[in-house]
Structure 1
Amino acid sequence: MEVLYHQSQKLVFDIQDLLPQIDRNVGKEAAAIEQAILGKLEEITSNIQRLDILVNKELPVRRREARLKVDQLKQDRLMLQNAIHLLQHKRMQRDQEQAAREELLTQTFQPNSRETTLFIDQSLQHHTALNGIHRSLDDIWETGTAVLDGLRTQRGVFKKAHRRLLDVTSMLSLSNSVMRMIERRSAQDKYLFYGLAILTCILIITAFWYFRH
């Protein structure tokens, strides 16, 4: 199971590296990158289905931790799917905007033509609307990226909390005799601390009195 999980994690990292390249490419290059990402997402989905089966075969002491890993992998897949869909929509809008500009430039303009004036007005309105959509998609992309970073941070915090919980559980499973021994040792340490504190105070007071006189 661990091997399959780490393979899936590598696919997640690969997709995260590929996503920014969609914005830096156009046309067939961007489409090819999108197809590569979709293929990796399908592979992650297939791995998750296998991991769901393997989790139930884990030992009870490891099953909970294994389930947490698979659930986190599902969250990563969902975030990546949302990100690629947003980028695809953004690229389509960009392509449409470019096509509209090219069409506008290829038009034959005639002086004092009402039809030409109306066409220019419509094209400008369309261009303005596309720019608004472009800005909205940029905001959504930034929000999605922030959420993904937040999930990664939460995953690290959750792992630390889980390790602490395992440590506490291990401590609670100690025998009663060991627990009593720990309690006696704690009491002895407490008395020793108080004794040393009182002795230190006496020495300080004595030294202070001696140097004053």
Structure 2
Amino acid sequence: MDGAGGGGTLSEIYQSAKRLLLRTRDALERLERLECSATAAATGGLDSPELSTSIRRDIVQIQSLCIEMDRLWRFLGAKSQRDLWRRKVEQVAEEAESLKVSLDKYSSRNQQRKMEAKEKAELLGRADGDSAHVLRIFDEEAQAMQSARNSSRMLEESYATGVAILSKYSEQRERLKKAQRRALDILNTVGLSNSVLKLVERRHRVDKWIKYAGMILTVIILYAFWRWTR
């Protein structure tokens, strides 16, 4: 049975992550086609900041879902189920990381193009309105890209912190299990010791009665012998 979290069951979160992966992959392909298009370089490229920002936002959301799934699969009862979901979550996380790397490469290429265009505009001394408009668009896109990268970096740090906390929780749970087993062993040992003590006490009482009976029997024999010798 799947674990349940604040965002739904493990299966539901996994399906949401897969849908986001598909949407993000398609959007990234559109962005790369836009980059390769000579027409887009001239006009349509103005829409690329919104598209790239949307892609990065989806990647951040996928990584957030991975954190939630990584927490949930650890509470599954069967080890086979835990292993299966661990591999699924790792696969989603790897695909998200691959998309992030592709987007970062695009952002780097785009930033390089903007720098080259800016340097060219400065060298040519273009001070007209069209040049100022292009530079303003480049600056806005650069700010949007930087903001998206900052958000992604913060999520990565949160993801690492969440994994560390879950790892500590798992270690503590193992230590508690060991302590419980040791306590049970001690209780079993105490129970065995009590049984041995009871057996010793019974043997002691039997030995005491045997001693008393022997003493009485000896007195009777001595008295009978005394009477017989008179």
For Structure 1 versus Structure 2, the TM-score category normalised by the shorter chain is 0.3 to 0.5
| Rg (Cα) greater in structure | 2
Higher relative contact order (CA 8 A, sep 6+): 2
What TM-score, normalized to structure 2?
0.43
